[in-house]
Structure 1
Amino acid sequence: MTRILRALDDISDLYDAVFCDLWGCLHNGVRPFPAAVEALTAFRARGGKVVLITNAPRPARFVGEQLDRMGVPREAYDVIVTSGDAAQDAMFAGAVGRKVWHLGPSKDDGFFTEVPAAWAGRAEIERVPFEEAEGIVCTGPFDEVNEVPEDYRPRFLAAKTRGLPMLCANPDVVVDMGEKRIYCAGALAALYEDMGARALYFGKPHPPIYDMARRRLLEIHDTDDSRILAIGDGINTDVAGAMGEGLDVLFVTGGLAVDQFGPDAEEPDPDLLAAWLGARQQSPQYSIGKLR
């Protein structure tokens, strides 16, 4: 049974590093959570390393700049690893062809323009109109505030007919932006697969992003998996992915599933939590209402 914690400090001496999710754990898409910032900053002050691991479909530099604008201090983390980073490697390797149609908002343009050093000067990727594409790179809906996956069914039918593979740069299905729930690239990719087409994933819960997070951690600290704690609020992404990698998990109940565990987001009901986790066949070692 999952152990409900009062604070990260309850178990911080057991771990050298944390792989911490962003949206729902450290911020809500609009502003940071002060208690979460304080918890991560305190963990680092004791010598721990914090790797922010997110399904954001943009390279780490852009996510860092977004955190700066929100007011998340650099003292709260060491490294950022994104789904965009992992998916970029696949795209530049030609996973969905060299001529791609970008399905996503303009804020994700850095996925194409910020070329990783490892790929500089090598085969280029060209963004082309849908009719000329060999594959699709999906970073989300064009209008994430107003559109839903079904809006894309006609275009997806045409893409499936042509046999276009889709690279999904963000496996998240939904996130909460402030008080509004919005669809992510994962919801579009799920619809595309449901229609019988092929989608490729590189963020949580899939292995490539964890492999990259381990490599980035190794650059600053040498530790083994038994001393890494994964923190996240997504049961099908953060929890399932980390447990599949053999990592201990701290499940933040006050995120995406906040309405499932009683009236107090800070204090999940143990019985409701146990039943909910059991129904999903997940058993994170620890749970907490909000990261603090």
Structure 2
Amino acid sequence: MTRLIRELSEISNEYDALFVDLWGCMHNGVTAFPEAVAAMQKYRAGGGKVVLVTNSPRPWRSVADQIAEFGVPDDAWDAIATSGDSARLAMYLGVVGQKVWHIGEMFEADFFQPMELLDAPLDVTVVPLEEAEGIVCSGPEDPLADPEIYRPQFLYAKQKGLKLLCANPDIVVDRGEVREWCAGALAALYTEMGGESLYFGKPHPPIYDLARRRLAQIAQIDDNRILCIGDGIGTDVMGAIGEGLDVLFITGGLAAQEFGPDPVNPDPMRLKMWLSEQNLSPTAAISFLR
């Protein structure tokens, strides 16, 4: 039975570390949530460790710079694990070949920057689709455009037998009041068409392995003392449960409309019924992280 709480402090003393989603939990893609920042600062002041675990396709240092601009200060977290870093590790090990076709926005070019975790990374080159041995998708070039626009290229890629590395399994995110498509939507389309997509962010195991590695660099903490926090039922919640980790579901994020007209006060019965339909049972739920 999922416990509905009002503040993180109601359960935080049961855990020594938090794996915290960013978009929808700590910020809305434009600005930080002050109460969420204060909750992380309070938790860390009490000795807890905070690892930000995000499906962002960016390297962790780029994410750190981005969230600082949003208003998430350095004293609200200890480490960052990104889907991008997890995917980059696989890319530089050669899972989609040496010559790749990149789908993404211009600012995501830092996906191809050197990676410190590898001594001898593969020399990966970005090439046109016709010359590619594989595909790297960090996101759609236009996050507002229907993913179906990639169907012709994906048909060609599937016929060539190219694998698609998905750097962000999220289907959509809300940037302020605007809903945008993510790399996961393109990977889902490619898979639906018969292509092979490789995932490295939540809910898939590689990003949790990376998060544990980041945590181990600062503290040795058992899994039963880690709480995951996120608003994505098919990413944050499903991934945590799959890893055997406790999870706090943020109801005021992507699924806020499911729980009544007031996002601050989700209807307990609607929440119970919706979670039953999802066939998932998070440890606890809270409207917004605070």
Fold match (TM-score > 0.5) = yes
Which secondary structure state, in structure 2, belongs to the residue aligned with residue 249 of structure 1?
strand
For the residue of structure 2 that corresponds to 1:118, the secondary structure is: coil
Amino acid at match of 1:92: Y
Residue of structure 2 in register with 1:172 after alignment: 170
Q: Which residue of 1 aligns with 2:24?
A: 24
Partner of 1:133: 132
Quick one: distance in 2 between partners of 1:162 and 1:123?
A: 22
Q: Supply the AA of the counterpart residue of 2:218.
A: I
Using the alignment, how far apart are the partners of 1:187 and 1:84 within structure 2? Answer: 16
Residue type of the partner of 2:110?
A: G
Distance 2:118 2:205 in 1: 21
CA distance in 2, matches of 1:3, 1:62: 35
Match of 1:54 in 2: 54
> 1:101 and 2:101 equivalent?
yes
Instruction: Compute the RMSD of aligned alpha carbons.
Output: 0.8
Code of the residue aligned with 1:108 in structure 2: it is E
Q: Which structure 1 residue ranges, 5 or more long, are not aligned? A: none
Q: Deviations over 1:87-130 (max 9, x none)?
A: 011000000000000001111111102x1123355421011111
1:267 CA drift (Å)? 1.2
Deviation at 1:151, TM superposition (A): 1.0
| 1:188 CA displacement | 0.3
Are the aligned partners of 2:93 and 2:121 in contact in 1 as well (CA < 8 Å)? Answer: no
Moved over 2 A (4+): 118-123
Give how far 1:24 is off: 0.3
Unpaired runs of at least 5, structure 2: none
Q: Describe the superposition over 1:24-54 as per-residue Cα deviations: whole angstroms up to 9, x where unpaired.
A: 0000000000010011110001000000000
Query: What is residue 4 of structure 2 aligned with on the other side?
Result: 4
Number of equivalent positions? 290
Specify the code of the residue in structure 1 equivalent to 2:106: S
Please report how far the alpha carbon of residue 205 of structure 1 lies from its aligned counterpart in structure 2 after TM superposition: 0.3
SS at match of 1:167: strand
Which AA in structure 1 matches 2:199? Answer: Y
Q: Secondary structure at the match of 2:198?
A: strand
The answer as to 2:115 corresponding to 1:116 is: yes
TM-score (norm 2): 0.99
Spell out the pairing of 1:244-255 with structure 2 (5 A cutoff). Answer: 244-255=242-253
Please give the alpha-carbon distance, in whole angstroms, between the structure 2 residues aligned to 1:260 and 1:165.
36
Greater mean deviation of Cα atoms: 147-156 or 26-35: 147-156
Q: Is the 8 A contact 2:96 2:165 kept in 1?
A: yes
Q: Which amino acid aligns with 2:133?
A: E
SS at match of 2:211: helix
Check if 1:286 corresponds to 2:271: no
CA distance in 1, matches of 2:49, 2:288: 20
Task: Find the residue that maps to 1:88 and give its secondary structure.
Answer: helix
| In structure 2, C-alpha distance between the alignment counterparts of 1:245 and 1:120, rounded to whole Å | 29
Report the TM-score when normalising by structure 1: 0.98
Q: Distance in 1 between matches of 2:120 and 2:12?
A: 43
> What letter corresponds to residue 29 of structure 1 in structure 2?
G
**Contact 2:57 2:138 survives alignment (8 Å):** yes
Shift of residue 263, structure 1, vs aligned partner: 1.1
Distance 1:174 1:53 in 2: 17
Give me the whole-angstrom Cα distance separating, in 1, the residues matched to 2:155 and 2:211.
35
| AA matched with 1:101 | W
Given that residues 20 and 50 in structure 2 are in contact (C-alpha distance below 8 angstroms), is that contact kept between their aligned partners in structure 1?
A: yes
Partner of 1:202: 200
